[in-house]
Amino acid sequence: MMKLDVAVQAFDMQDISNRRFMYNPKTGILVLGQQYGKTRGLPGSHADDLAQAGIKNGFDDFVRGWVGTGKNYPAGIIHFAPNVDAQNISLFNRAFDTLEMFQRNGALPDTVVRGFGRQWEQALSEVLSPAHNERISNQEESMEIQNITVEDLRRMEDKEGLVLQGCGGDPGEWIQGINDLLAQKGILLEGTTFTHVSVFQNEGLTCLLFPFDDVKLDIGKLAMWRLQTHDTFGGTWLSDYIDNRLGREPAQETSGKPDCPLIGQDGNIFNLVGIASRTLKAHGMPEQAKEMAGRVFSCDSYHKALCIIGEYVNITSADREAGRPHSIRQQLKNNKAPETAAPKKVAKEPER
């Protein structure tokens, strides 16, 4: 066990193989737990180490985690536990101060930083680079969340976007999580992100509208992602949501596209085209069915084919109520527990 005042005492991080760390940037007090060779079966906890070090108050001011070097991390690793959420400004700033402290005490440019901000692992040099932090700051400052009503939605006939349903909790956390997921999937292009997002309530659910105005998208990949994740996020296009969930004003006409239950079906394109064709014919639209099939089988990608089908039918689930959407935190943890009308409050940082 070590308790250091880093304002006047120095240490070499490269001499540490595996220790818990607890650092208070306000006081400069660093507590390093016992040196262990393996993490499995460690006695006690961060709180126990603080108590043994004689810390009696200000526990929430300490940033916590693990630090050390080893075979898999020759330049060392700084692992924040719990993870540091970029939306938690106070914790984020204290964790940044912690990284600067380790840099002054033996952390190298290639030292791995884990559980900090929006990336699971990244090099210390990247985290501390001016360009990186300016980009993070700009994204935070540019994010705009607007509360709207369903009446506002009905007036958006000339716009298109993605609606996600059942987004309980912090909207900012949802928006950042969706931005990260879509960037990882290659759907958001050229570094663009959704920064102007609207929140509304309908049918007992909190919903988010991600407008397409200011982002560059691979719309084909987005269409496929929406179908694949429908049971998780309840994703639908804005135009379809207005038609199917809100209903048009009496003086307005519907799009004329029949509902077609493709979600949950075998994704083979011949099977999907067959279901869509039968739906169109059943609604007295044989010419549209023929035209759709011809366009699908002459296009050059599965993504485009899905978009073409969506031009002729409203893609729906066989049972729209079979499974409620889940939160982004649950998606990242592969937790399939449904969101309830009064969801339990979960920890800010997802487990990894």
For 37-86, how does the pLDDT look when each residue is reduced to its tens digit (9 = 90+)? 554 545 667 788 888 889 888 888 899 999 999 888 999 999 998 888 77
Q: Tell me phi and psi for residue 89, to 5 degrees.
A: -60, -40
pLDDT tens, position by position, 151-161: 888 888 778 99
What integer pLDDT is reported at residue 4 of this predicted model?
93
Q: Report the DSSP beta bridge partners of residue 105.
A: none
| 199 phi/psi in degrees, rounded to 5 | -115, 135
Q: Find the helix packing angle between 286-298 and 302-312, rounded to 10°.
A: 170
Strands (E) in the chain, as ranges, are 2-5, 19-24, 29-32, 63-68, 77-84, 112-116, 119-123, 144-147, 161-165, 196-202, 205-211, 236-237, 259-263, 314-317
pLDDT at 42: 57
Q: pLDDT band at residue 340, thresholds of 50, 70 and 90?
A: very low
* Average pLDDT for the chain: 80
Write out pLDDT tens, residues 177-202: 888 789 888 899 988 888 889 999 99
Higher pLDDT: 328 or 297? It is 297
> Model-level pTM greater than 0.95?
no
Q: Which two tokens stand for residue 302?
A: 């599965």
Range among 48-52, 90-94, 122-126 with highest mean pLDDT value: 122-126
pLDDT of residue 322: 41
Q: Which of 73-77, 253-257, 278-282 is the least confident region?
A: 253-257
Please calculate the CA angle 312-318-320 and round it to the nearest 5 degrees: 100
DSSP 8-state assignment for residue 343: P
Beta bridge partners of 21: 32, 65
